[in-house]
Amino acid sequence: MDAPAPHRFVARVVEESENKIHDDGVARRFGFSGALVPGVELFARTTTPLVAAWGQEWLSGGRIDLRFRRPVYDGEELLVEVSDGRVTVSGPDGEVRCLGSAGHTADRPDLVGLAEVSAGAEPVVDPVAGPFGSVHEAGTIEENEWYLDAIGEPLPLYRERSWAHPGLLLRLVNRLLMRNVALGPWIHTSSDCRFLGVARLPAQMTVHGRVTDVGRRGRHEEVGYDALVLAGGEPVLQVHHTALYRLSAAG
């Protein structure tokens, strides 16, 4: 099995987001120098060298965990390096911005409890341990093509085979939080992912989830949750996701 080669990419805020931490003015209120590049887009391009090296085997049964340790701003060039299963994403100054691990295979995760749950009438202010309401969306070739262009994905296989990009799948996991919790600006902080199958488009996409823990990280409120993404009823991705769902402005 080939080792993933070092890979450079330019980090991008790909669209105006409901999450205003990706807006310059709002991000500065929370102590950042500008709009943050979403963690999901950093994750998306971190997968590029893994898929280049490991291909369908990784997309069908591999793993990656990634923690977003330092801010990344629009237009910064980042370097992804993978060595003995350790993943680092460094900025132009050499500072590690994201850190994690990856493997071309992984044990199948426990999917018990990740099942259909009806969404509440309104998002809650504060999540509590227990199930999230499931999310259903149409997965289209057109959206996938737009996303590939937006993040600058260089690998042709997603277009050639109509496979959903891993970043697009992880966006659905973000959407699970956004549909169930009333959010202001918030920050995605980590994802531990197990791939269970390739998502072939078009397909009906479904996301089930459950909150596992709620607490504080410094001055911010944090939530952890498990999620399962299905394409056409078949499991394709299981994730443990963490986010700072309520931020306290910088003093």
The DSSP annotation for 140-209 comes to -HHHHHHHHHHHT---SHHHHHTBPPHHHHHHHHHHHHHHHB--SS-EEEEEEEEE-S--BSSEEEEEEE
| Residue 129 forms part of a structural domain | yes
Q: What is the pLDDT of residues 116-125, one digit of tens each?
A: 999 988 999 9
Residues 6+ positions from 77 with CB-CB distance below 8 Å: 8, 9, 10, 11, 92
User: What is the DSSP track for 201-236?
Assistant: SSEEEEEEEEEEEEEEETTEEEEEEEEEEEETTEEE
Q: Beta strands of 56-129 (E only): which ranges? A: 63-68, 77-83, 86-90, 96-103
pLDDT band of residue 233 (cuts 50, 70, 90) is: very high
CA-based nearest residue to 238, from 200, 197, 189, 178: 197
If one counts the domains in the chain, the total is 1
pLDDT of residue 249: 78
| Residue 251 forms part of a structural domain | no
Region of residue 105 (phi > 0: left; psi between -120 and 50: alpha; otherwise: beta): beta
Note whether 37 and 74 are within 8 A (CB): yes
| Residue 225 forms part of a structural domain | yes
| Residue 219 forms part of a structural domain | yes
Q: What is the pLDDT of residues 140-153, one digit of tens each?
A: 999 999 999 999 99
Q: Is 147 exposed, middle or buried (0-12, 13-18, 19+ CB in 10 A)?
A: buried
| Residue 1 forms part of a structural domain | no
Q: What is the pLDDT of residues 156-207, one digit of tens each?
A: 999 999 999 999 999 999 999 999 999 999 999 999 999 999 999 999 999 9
pLDDT of residue 8: 98
Q: What is the pLDDT of residues 96-122, one digit of tens each?
A: 999 999 999 999 999 999 999 999 889
- For the record, the structure tokens of 39 come out as 């963690």
Range of the structural domain that residue 86 is part of: 7-246
Q: What are phi and psi of 217, to 5 degrees?
A: -125, 105
- CATH number, domain containing residue 218: 3.10.129.10
Start-to-end CA span in the chain (Å): 50
| Residue 147 forms part of a structural domain | yes
